[in-house]
Structure 1
């Protein structure tokens, strides 16, 4: 690994794009791990995370129900069945200090993604989506309620009035679909999917150490990095993809 800054990245900000969906628990974990890895990098201020839209279930109903109710309706069983199904991700979240509630809601996420696109235009996409997703997984918010989305937007410095305008219209729908089309062109079939500086890609929620290793490849450290974590699924992106 080089000990000198790569001329490809020297002195400039590096954009990290993460395709994500609100209700995806692995996206929730992966984003927090990526942020932790960035915070530990000596040049943390060089990195900019840009969240990209990817609906895992575009045909999901618009009327919210708890994730437990949705699971039992689709798969049968009772609350104990739901707990068993979510045991691994629940334990992982709590081991990393992240709340994880079975009372969180489930519904179509298209409108949330439309507001994310507006927030990205205002350079508040990460702050907005992180707040909504964190409260969502804590079971503290109905992210499908326009008023709650507007309040969350205001909390991170966005216009609540503008969010209500977006939600009452079809604005940013094309931007959501464009993100998804680009994701499919990159070969994305699930999320999270993270692209570093259009040079490296990682599929799935990786460990903090795996993310740190790719950050060091993207913006080399002035000292050698010793990787201490699990396997990385990093692959160079094909140059003809934009």
Structure 2
């Protein structure tokens, strides 16, 4: 009997900061990757808040709560789409965005106050530093780190090359 279950997805770790204009610029590429590969590519949000952005750490915690409530990537996209507003409004924008997405606002606010996601954000940041992440966005696919930042040019194509190679190798495996 053959196994007809789908193969494990290829994992693309996206080291991101929700107050980063360069991460905002990368959104179209991330959407394109999700459309091209669907559930064959797992985009995994990894937090790397930078000290120069005063709302980045709270935004990372907020993204974790949105993930718990089933709206992780929609929340990330919504906040990144409003980076300039986040600079001005701060944590009020984080809660406003949660309400707009229909998240449980009371639970969301409680999560930010009690800091239940701090350890996740801290662990992501520590792991990022350990593998050489210095800025955002940074991607890791199949152990290869690809730095984004100001130079997004060609990154999506490089990620596609790696993903296509990995998928082809899986398809050739009996």
Q: What TM-score do the two structures reach when normalised by structure 1?
A: 0.57
> Partner of 1:46 in structure 2?
40
Task: Work out whether residues 15 and 48 of structure 1, in 8 Å CA contact, stay in contact via their aligned partners in 2.
Answer: yes
The alignment status of 1:15 with 2:11, answered yes or no, reads yes
Q: Any residues of structure 2 matched to 1:21-170 within 5 Å, and which?
A: 21-39=17-35, 41=36, 43-57=37-51, 60=52, 107-137=54-84, 139=85, 142=88, 144-146=90-92, 148-170=93-115
Listed one character per residue, the Cα deviations across residues 178-199 of structure 1 (whole Å, up to 9, x for unaligned) are 1100001111111111112x43
Q: Name the SS for the 2:7 alignment partner.
A: coil
* Candidates 158, 161, 171, aligned match of 1:213: 158
Cα distance in 2 for residues equivalent to 1:56 and 1:121: 23
Determine if contact 2:95/2:105 at 8 Å carries over to the other structure.
Answer: yes
**Structure 1 pair 153–215 and aligned structure 2 pair: CA distance change class (3 A):** same
Change (3 A) 1:130 1:170: same
Distance in 2 (CA, whole Å) between partners of 1:140 and 1:112 is 9
CA distance in 1 between partners of 2:33 and 2:120 (Å) = 29
Structure 2, unaligned runs of 5 or more:
1-5, 169-174
Against the structure 1 CA distance between its residues 210 and 145, is the aligned structure 2 distance closer, same or farther, given a 3 Å change threshold?
closer
Q: Give the structure with the higher percent helix.
A: 2
Structure 1 segments unaligned to the other structure (5+ residues): 1-9, 61-105, 223-242
Q: Deviations over 1:135-171 (max 9, x none)?
A: 234x48855233x322312333432111110122222
Q: How many residues align?
A: 160
